[in-house]
Each structure stands twice: as C-alpha cells, then as structure tokens.
C-alpha cells in the first residue's frame, strides 16, 4: 500500500504539477478500495437463498426430466465438510449457465452447506439478478487483474479470508463455459491464491473436490455453433433471461452430477 501511495504522489507531482499531501492520496485509494470491495464480496442472506433454491427446483423440474446425483460420493463429502480443518472447494466442469447454481441447489436439498461461488463479472452486470446472486453466496471476479494491483490485492485478501474462515467455495477451473463439451485448459488464478494461502501457512489444509456436470442438452446449446464459427459470444442481459423462460415448456433430458475423490 505504501508503495502505491508513493507512486500516486509521484504521478500527481510529475504529471499534474500540483502539490499533494500523502493523506489526500491515502483517502483517494481508500475510496477506490471501498468500491472494489463492494463490487467483489458476497452478501449472503439465508432467506434469499431459500427463495433461490425453490426457484431453481421449479426451473430444473420443468426443463429437465431428472437430475442424477452420485449420492454415495456426496455422502462421504458431507462427512468431510462437517469435519473440515480448512476450506472445501468444489471445482465443477463448466458447460452451461445452469452450472452456476446447480451445485448449490443440489447441496441445499441434500441438507449441506451451500458454497460461496466465484462468478465472472459479466453476470455482475445484470442489474437485479446480480443482487440476488450475491445474496445466494456469489462473489465476483474480473477476467483479468492486469494493470490494477489494488484490485488484485483486495480480491486476493478476500479469498484468503474465506479460506481462513474455512468457508466452502466453488469455482470453475476452466474459467468459462466449454462450447464443445470437452475440457478447456485450466485457469490458475484462484487456485494460485488458495495454494499460496496454504503454503504461507495461513490455513491448516485445503481440499479440492472435482465435480463433473453433464447434460443431455444444455439450455444455451443452440448458440454454441455460431460462437464456434467466429461470432461474438452472446452477452448476458435481463431481457435475455426473461426470454429464456420460454424454454420452460421444453424437455432438455437429464443432468448427471458426479463428485470425485477429494484432493
């Protein structure tokens, strides 16, 4: 932080040719930090989570014939969560926007603790929806930290704090949805933060739980061929979500949810 302040002072004095006190720069950085914190953190609310879980159940039972869950594996993970000595982090494959709350909904109805989910900032841009997601445990992350060391420091500290509080978390190690139903190369950003928290001896242990989510048919599958041939990714918006309710009369088959040996 002190180094950032010195750089700011040098910038103001050198570029703007004005006299500025160190206190003024601290206040400016503090205001930027507050905005970043409010942008990142979740605002967990159990009542909102209950409503979200009921909505997810309605949608899933309307659109999909069934959700097949490996209950034997989930039973052992429930015991692991109850006896944990550090954070438990679910790492699902990413095929659909449904993935985002699917694991949470399944854990909720199996009477397990619902995870804090790391979501991309594109979902944060959807007004109203982002607020509901935040109350359901979501926290938001930029696609890149490049050029903003303050944001990186705040996000890193937030994830470290979740780890130290032994919070159950979820993030998609592929970073974005696969359009081909094949695994994408992993993104190591959050994994690096979690590992550094462990190797810096700030937590006793960390457990990663690989999860596979497979669909007979994904809700947004019809847009994938166009994106694979070079068209821009369709941006998420409230209007697109509203239009998506027309699919509730359709049948998209089965979802298969499997939990694997924890690492």
Number of domains, the chain: 2
**What are the pLDDT tens digits along the chain (263 aa)?**
455 555 554 554 454 444 556 676 778 888 888 888 888 989 888 888 898 888 888 888 888 889 999 999 999 999 999 999 999 999 998 888 778 788 999 999 999 999 999 988 776 666 667 788 888 889 999 888 888 888 999 999 999 999 999 999 999 988 777 766 677 788 888 999 999 999 999 999 999 999 999 888 877 655 444 554 555 555 554 445 445 555 666 778 899 999 999 99
119, 125, 127, 128 alpha-carbon torsion, rounded to 10°: 0
DSSP per-residue codes, the chain: -HHHHHHHHHHIIIII-----HHHHHHHHHHHHHHHHHHH-----HHHHHHHHHHHHHHHHHH-SEEEE-HHHHHHHHHHHHT-SS-EEEEE---STTHHHHHHHHHHHTT-PPPEEEEEHHHHTSTTHHHHHHHTTEEEE-S--TT-HHHHHHHHHHHHHHHHTT-EEE--TTSS--SSSSPPPP--HHHHHHHHHHHTTSSS--EEEEEEEEESS-TTGGGHHHHHTTPPPPPP-HHHHHHHGGGGGS---EEEEEE----
Give pTM, 2 decimals.
0.79
Shared domain for 115 and 224, answered yes or no, is yes
Backbone CA torsion sign across 95, 97, 102, 104: positive
pLDDT value at residue 147: 85
If asked whether residues 27 and 81 sit together in one domain, one would say: no
Do 5 and 133 belong together in one domain? no
pLDDT for the residue numbered 112: 94
Are 9 and 54 found together in one domain?
Answer: no
The CATH code of the domain that includes 229 is: 3.40.1130
Structure tokens at 153: 């420091």
Alpha-carbon span 123 to 238, nearest angstrom: 10
For residues 17 and 69, state if they share a domain. no
Q: Are residues 18 and 94 in the same domain?
A: no
At 209, list the tokens: 């739980």
**Both tokens assigned to 49:** 């989570």
Same domain? 124 vs 238: yes
Same domain, 71 and 199: yes
Q: Are residues 156 and 245 in the same domain?
A: yes
Residue 62 and residue 248 in contact, taking contact as beta carbons nearer than 8 Å = yes
99 and 228 housed in the same domain: yes
User: Does 22 lie in the same domain as 5?
Assistant: yes
pLDDT at 6 (0 to 100):
54
Cross-strand pairs, 256: 68, 214
pLDDT for the residue numbered 228:
47
Nearest to 254 by CA among 125, 32, 102: 102
- Which residues form the domain of 139? 44-259
Same domain, 79 and 29: no
Pairwise CA distance, residues 176 & 173, whole Å: 8
């Amino acid at each position: 932080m002190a180094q950032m302040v010195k750089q700011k002072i040098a910038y103001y004095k050198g570029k703007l040719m004005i006299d500025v006190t160190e206190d003024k720069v601290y206040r400016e950085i503090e205001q930027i930090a507050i905005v970043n914190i409010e942008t990142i953190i979740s605002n967990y609310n159990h009542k909102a989570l209950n409503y979200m879980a009921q909505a997810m159940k309605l949608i899933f039972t309307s659109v999909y014939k069934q959700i097949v869950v490996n209950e034997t594996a989930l039973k052992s993970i429930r015991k692991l969560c109850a006896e944990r000595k550090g954070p438990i982090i679910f790492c699902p494959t990413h095929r659909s926007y449904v993935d985002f709350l699917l694991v949470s909904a399944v854990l909720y109805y199996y009477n397990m603790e619902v995870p804090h989910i790391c979501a991309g900032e594109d979902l944060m841009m959807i007004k109203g929806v982002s607020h509901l997601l935040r109350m359901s445990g979501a926290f938001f992350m930029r696609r890149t930290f490049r050029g903003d060391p303050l944001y990186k420091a705040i996000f890193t500290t937030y994830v470290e704090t979740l780890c130290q509080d032994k919070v159950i978390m979820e993030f998609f190690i592929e970073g974005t949805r696969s359009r081909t139903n094949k695994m994408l190369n992993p993104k190591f950003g959050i994994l690096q933060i979690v590992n550094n928290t462990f190797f810096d001896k700030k937590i006793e242990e960390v457990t990663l739980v690989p999860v596979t989510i497979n669909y007979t048919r994904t809700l947004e599958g019809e847009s994938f061929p166009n994106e694979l041939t070079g068209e821009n990714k369709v941006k998420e918006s409230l209007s697109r979500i509203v239009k998506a309710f027309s699919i509730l009369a359709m049948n998209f088959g089965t979802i298969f949810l499997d939990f694997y040996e924890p690492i």
